[in-house]
Amino acid sequence: MQFSSEGYIIKIRRHSEKSAIVTLVCPDKGKIVGYINGALNKRNLGIYQIGNYISFNAYARVEENMLSLKGVELLHSHTVDFMLNNDKIGALASLCRLLDECVAQNDNLGDFYKVIADFFKHISDKNWLVYYSFFEYHLLDFLGIGLDTSECAVTGKQSNLRYISPKTGRAVCEEIGAAYKDRLYAYPQYIIDKNYSPQNKEIANVLAMTGSFLQKNFLNQHNLQLPENRVNLLSMLKTVKL
């Protein structure tokens, strides 16, 4: 088996003194894992960094064997985009770990790949954290535990939706949810509208909600926890200027 592709590096694990096992997310192959001989040579240190976008040729004698990646070329280095900002490093670490733990190898990412790529493409923008929040929201959909934001769970109305139930993940309208708003999540209006300029409070509300649903409906079943860096993002929102 052999093919050529490209993708973002999300994990690097040393294998012997100078080689590595690298995990990537690719637009056509999903998440793949491959062995790279000599990846950790001094001349290659700038290539094999988390978040970098590379092209490669992949080989395996049989489909069940681990891929061997050769002919690697660096297409885009994101190192400088993250290295001087601890908050961005934390978001990068969180995104990569969630992808590694939540996405099965060779799963077709479909439209979810574009959401992942958007995070990297906009990491230098002032509103970079908004793209991270879109990633978590759509990760829920990818895992099959997405929210039902189409209509009120009680009345069936599609207007004046203001809340999300923490139990069911379904939308609740203002007239029904107002009396219980302290126990409900805020409706993710900017996500629905594809508005990339929300207020910090709106982003914090979405991250609080997505984190809770990820933990309850996926991570707990696999004895996993939200990445520590991810937990710190909510605290960071109090000071960051988007």
- In a domain? residue 90: yes
- In a domain? residue 131: yes
Domain end (from 46, 77, 108): 77
Alpha helices in the chain (DSSP H): 79-82, 86-102, 112-121, 128-142, 174-177, 189-193, 200-214, 228-236
Is the pLDDT at 5 greater than 60? The verdict is yes
pLDDT score recorded for residue 160 = 96
Co-location of 69 and 30 in the same domain = yes
User: What's the pLDDT band for 16 if we cut at 50, 70, 90?
Assistant: confident
Co-location of 89 and 37 in the same domain = no
Co-location of 135 and 208 in the same domain = yes
Instruction: Compute the mean pLDDT over every residue in the chain, rounded to the nearest whole number.
Output: 93
Residue with tokens 């409706």: 187
Co-location of 11 and 40 in the same domain = yes
Is the pLDDT at 97 greater than 60? The verdict is yes
Please give the residue range of the domain that contains residue 15.
2-77
In order of 9, 35, 53, 94, 165, the CA distances from 40 in angstroms are: 14, 12, 17, 23, 48
Co-location of 90 and 123 in the same domain = yes
Helix (H) or strand (E) holding 185: strand 185-186
- In a domain? residue 183: no
pLDDT score recorded for residue 181 = 94
Helix axes 128-142, 112-121, angle to 10 degrees: 160
Q: What is the pLDDT of residues 33-87, one digit of tens each?
A: 999 999 998 888 889 999 999 999 999 876 667 899 999 999 999 888 888 888 9
Question: Residue 215: how many CA atoms within 13 Å on its side-chain side?
Answer: 14
Q: What is the pLDDT of residues 153-189, one digit of tens each?
A: 999 999 999 999 999 999 999 999 999 999 999 999 9
Alpha-carbon Rg for the chain, nearest whole angstrom, is 20
- In a domain? residue 182: no
Co-location of 65 and 121 in the same domain = no
Co-location of 47 and 71 in the same domain = yes
Domain end (from 43, 77, 111): 77
Question: How many domains are contained in the chain?
Answer: 2
Co-location of 125 and 224 in the same domain = yes
Query: Measured between alpha carbons, how far is 139 from 131 in angstroms, rounded to an integer?
Result: 12
User: Letter for the amino acid at 137?
Assistant: Y
Record the pTM. 0.93
Left, alpha or beta for 65 (phi > 0: left; psi -120 to 50: alpha)? beta
pLDDT score recorded for residue 65 = 75
Query: Measured between alpha carbons, how far is 50 from 11 in angstroms, rounded to an integer?
Result: 6
Domain end (from 28, 46, 77): 77
What is the CB neighbour count within 10 angstroms for residue 108?
10
pLDDT score recorded for residue 238 = 64
Angle 181-230-212 (CA atoms, 0-180°, nearest 5)? 35
- In a domain? residue 47: yes
Taking alpha carbons only, the member of 210, 28, 170 closest to residue 113 is: 28
Query: Measured between alpha carbons, how far is 215 from 76 in angstroms, rounded to an integer?
Result: 32
Co-location of 89 and 133 in the same domain = yes
Co-location of 40 and 138 in the same domain = no
- In a domain? residue 152: no
Is the pLDDT at 219 greater than 80? The verdict is yes
Query: Measured between alpha carbons, how far is 82 from 123 in angstroms, rounded to an integer?
Result: 8
Co-location of 17 and 96 in the same domain = no
User: What's the pLDDT band for 102 if we cut at 50, 70, 90?
Assistant: very high
| CATH assignment of the domain containing 40 | 2.40.50.140
Q: Compute, in degrees rounded to 10, the torsion defined by CA atoms 84, 86, 87, 93.
A: 110
Co-location of 227 and 134 in the same domain = yes
